[in-house]
Structure 1
Amino acid sequence: MDGKKLYKARGSRILFGVCGGVAEYFNVDPTLVRLAFAAAVILWGSGFLLYIIAAIVMPEPPYDPMQ
């Protein structure tokens, strides 16, 4: 295990940082995650509720004075 943890994004944040945090965790472009999330919301509709839950549950990243 490499010790990766899922946090909200600090730098690539648009609304709450959920999609940016998922993108950082999986090392992909945040735009791709946002597009996939938008498609899921349009096609299935329940994605917005999952986003709100993730925004509440996902922790903020630890403070880094170098950023």
Structure 2
Amino acid sequence: MGDNQKRLYRSETDKMLCGVCGGIGEYFEIDPTIVRLLWVLLTCSGPGIIAYIIAAVIIPRR
């Protein structure tokens, strides 16, 4: 049996800082720019920077 489960990775090709938003965009098959805009809105409302740092540490590279 093959492992067909989709996995979340940081993007190596579509990244600005660590590839977190690019990886999330690839995982959900949406434009990473939309993910980046949503992340900026989250950052402006509070916990976005901490969440990005945690995601960059936890989400593995491909």
2:17 aligns with 15
Q: CA deviation at 1:45?
A: 1.3
- In 1: Cα distance, 2:36 partner to 2:49 partner: 12
Q: CA deviation at 1:3?
A: 1.1
RMSD: 1.3
Runs of 4+ in 1 over 4 A off after TM superposition: none
2:55 aligns with 54
What is the total number of aligned residue pairs between the two structures? 60
* 1:21-36 superposed matches below 5 A: 21-36=23-38
TM-score normalised by the chain length of structure 1: 0.84
Unaligned runs of 5+ residues in structure 1 are 62-67
Unaligned runs of 5+ residues in structure 2 are none
